[in-house]
Structure 1
């Protein structure tokens, strides 16, 4: 008994052709039809992948809460780095409060301290939250 690969059952090779005693013209015709269907299968797979990505994006975006910050809002900034004198899990998670100086498209925000000194680096809106005194 000889082992046959599953792909050879679907797309017959010369060995399968010899065993089943197909005519060469008929085998070539079947092979040509399968090659013509490859583009269709490829397009179907691409379409399926795009539909899947759209479904996943829609499900993710449904859970996103849009936060809007206006100038002169009070906010807390997330501590993004570990300080050398940190107290482990008991360290502060947020700095602040800060005042929103300016907002840009894409969620970029420039903050200033409570005394009015402006921070040089802009910060992403994901790393701040509103502060209610």
Structure 2
């Protein structure tokens, strides 16, 4: 199998040498040389391209298997995720993202609020206002807020 790959590389190198003027241009002509080599009916070593395409078919099968595995894992993960639906006027609390070196340690508050949802955008962003009606400077994402129950 290794000899077949070496022969293919040798033939592609010969095609590139015939197509380029200087050695610095090889990367521009590589796709054309590869296409020319793949469209040959018979290689100079006597191997049919069906044998070389077998390598490509195995590589394609591995890629398809990995993609199917990733889809299954994504589906399993998304099955457990429960999306919260928020409406304008709901009360929420917002998670505080603090720097690591907070001196309060484990007593550091993790949420602030409550806030009122003023506007909701399609991507999950929302504009929050305080209970007094003052808007926050930056919109908050739906994954850092929780519903506030009174």
TM over 0.5: yes
CA offsets per residue over residues 83-119 of structure 1, 9 Å max, x none?
A: 9765111111100011111111111011000000011
Q: Do the aligned partners of residues 13 and 39 (structure 1) sit closer, same or farther apart at CA in structure 2, a change above 3 Å counting?
A: closer
Q: Do the aligned partners of residues 65 and 129 (structure 1) sit closer, same or farther apart at CA in structure 2, a change above 3 Å counting?
A: same
CA offsets per residue over residues 15-37 of structure 1, 9 Å max, x none?
A: xxxxxxxxxxxx954x8553120
Q: Do the aligned partners of residues 99 and 12 (structure 1) sit closer, same or farther apart at CA in structure 2, a change above 3 Å counting?
A: closer
Structure 1 residue runs of 4+, over 3 Å off?
31-34, 82-86
Q: Which has the higher contact order (CA 8 A, sep 6+)?
A: 1
Q: Do the aligned partners of residues 81 and 37 (structure 1) sit closer, same or farther apart at CA in structure 2, a change above 3 Å counting?
A: same
- Which consecutive residues of structure 2, in runs of 5 or more, have no partner in the other structure? 5-44
Per the alignment, residue 143 of structure 2 pairs with: 126
SS at match of 2:74: helix
Structure 1 or 2: more helix by fraction: 2
2:80 is aligned with 1:100: no
CA distance in 1, matches of 2:70, 2:49: 33
2:44 is aligned with 1:44: no
TM-score, structure 2 normalization: 0.65
TM-score, structure 1 normalization: 0.73
Q: Do the aligned partners of residues 47 and 85 (structure 1) sit closer, same or farther apart at CA in structure 2, a change above 3 Å counting?
A: closer
CA offsets per residue over residues 35-87 of structure 1, 9 Å max, x none?
A: 12012112211211110110110011011011011111110000112397651
Structure 1 stretch displaced more, 44-53 or 81-90: 81-90
